[in-house]
Amino acid sequence: MTGQPSSDIAFTGTVKAAQTARGSRPQYARMETRGGFRTAISDDLRAFLAEVDTAYLATANAAGQPYAQHRGGPKGFIRVLDGSTLAFADYTGNRQYITTGNLTENAQAFLFLMDYAHQRRVKVWGTARVSNDADLIAGLMPQDYKARPEQAVVFTVLAWDINCPQHIPQKFAADDVAAALARMQEKLDAAEAQAAALRARLARYEPAGAAA
């Protein structure tokens, strides 16, 4: 509502009461005086999305029963369409369609974005819808990614916030680890070749009888 901080999308009256009871309310009250959470998709959020390969999409049905679904793909699979809209191709999976069904009766949605390598996470509140627009789906498909798109999920951002990095286990993608090991092996091979060449040069200048 007009005049309310954007963080009220998460900080309901009961949440604020819990904050008061546990002593954290003053810091969040100060944040609210500055407007609360961010609402526009900023350059730093765009940069973060370009590195994200893991996300969790939460929805709920009309009765409020929640459901969270993992979504992943190559880095940058979640695209920015404009200053308040994100979208990604939804690939064929187990065909339960819980998220799809939930969104037909309750558009409220939540994205939890993870970057384990850099121990970062971003929370995004908003609404979502499913789109069957063939051009949109084709434009959202990562190049050369081996998956079959079934639809697109279009997410309207209402507020977003960066979580603290505490307790995020540091994990690295297998492809990134393999690439790092390959670079290290190249350096090791080059160092060994240089050492072998140096030994060969030293051997040519070794005085007669030096090994006696």
Residue range 46-90, pLDDT digits in tens: 999 999 999 999 999 999 999 999 999 999 999 999 999 999 999
Q: Left if phi > 0, otherwise alpha if psi is -120 to 50, otherwise beta: which for 67? A: beta
Rg, C-alpha atoms of the chain: 26
- State the Cα–Cα distance between residues 111 and 41, nearest whole angstrom: 14
The confidence score (pLDDT) of residue 210 equals: 56
**108-115 and 66-72 strand pairing:** unpaired
Q: What distance in Å separates the CA atoms of residue 116 and residue 167, rounded to the nearest whole number?
A: 11
Is the distance from CB of 182 to CB of 117 less than 8 angstroms? no
pLDDT tens across the length of the chain (212 residues): 457 999 999 999 999 999 999 999 999 999 999 999 999 999 999 999 999 999 999 999 999 999 999 999 999 999 999 999 999 999 998 889 999 999 999 999 999 998 888 888 899 999 999 999 999 999 999 999 999 999 999 999 999 999 777 777 788 878 888 888 899 999 999 999 999 999 888 888 866 555 54
What SS3 state is found at 42? coil
DSSP 101: H
Which residues 6+ apart lie within 8 Å of 103 measured at CB? Answer: 59, 109, 128, 129, 130
According to the model, what pLDDT value does residue 207 have?
65
Looking at residue 88, its pLDDT comes to 98
CATH class of 38-162: mainly beta
The CA-to-CA distance between both ends of the chain, in Å, stands at: 92
Say if CB 57 and CB 99 are below 8 A apart.
Answer: yes
pLDDT score, position 20:
98
Q: What is the rounded distance in angstroms from the CA atom of residue 72 to the CA atom of residue 53?
A: 5
The reported pTM is 0.81
Helix (H) or strand (E) holding 45: helix 43-51
- Summary mean pLDDT of the chain: 92
In 52-173, which residue ranges form alpha helices assigned H by DSSP? Answer: 98-105, 134-140
pLDDT of residue 1: 47
